[in-house]
Amino acid sequence: MNNSTYSMVERSRSEEKNRTVLETVLFTLFILSAVVSIWQFAQQRVIVPAAGLTPCVACTTTVGNTGI
């Protein structure tokens, strides 16, 4: 087995390049997932009732069996 300093340095550089590529891919995926989450949140419809107004009577009345 040839364990020269040069071969160990070359092996280390190769592993570091692989790790750098993997880290780049993972960080890109994390950033994209955060952007998609923010985009989905921004697209949600928010219904805020106006303060002091009574609710729509026609919207809240139910038609059906009154129990008589």
- How do residues 13-42 score in pLDDT, each as one tens digit? 777 777 888 899 999 999 999 999 999 999
DSSP state of 52: T
* Mean pLDDT, rounded, of the chain: 78
Q: Nearest 10 degrees: CA dihedral of 30, 34, 40, 41?
A: 150
* Closest C-alpha among 45, 44, 49 to residue 59: 49
Element (H, E) at 37: helix 5-43
Confidence band for 67, pLDDT divided at 50, 70 and 90: low
Give CA–CA dist 39/12, Å, rounded: 40
Rounded to a whole number of angstroms, the distance between the first and last alpha carbons of the chain is 96
The structure's pTM equals 0.49
Please state the rounded mean pLDDT for residues 45-54: 74
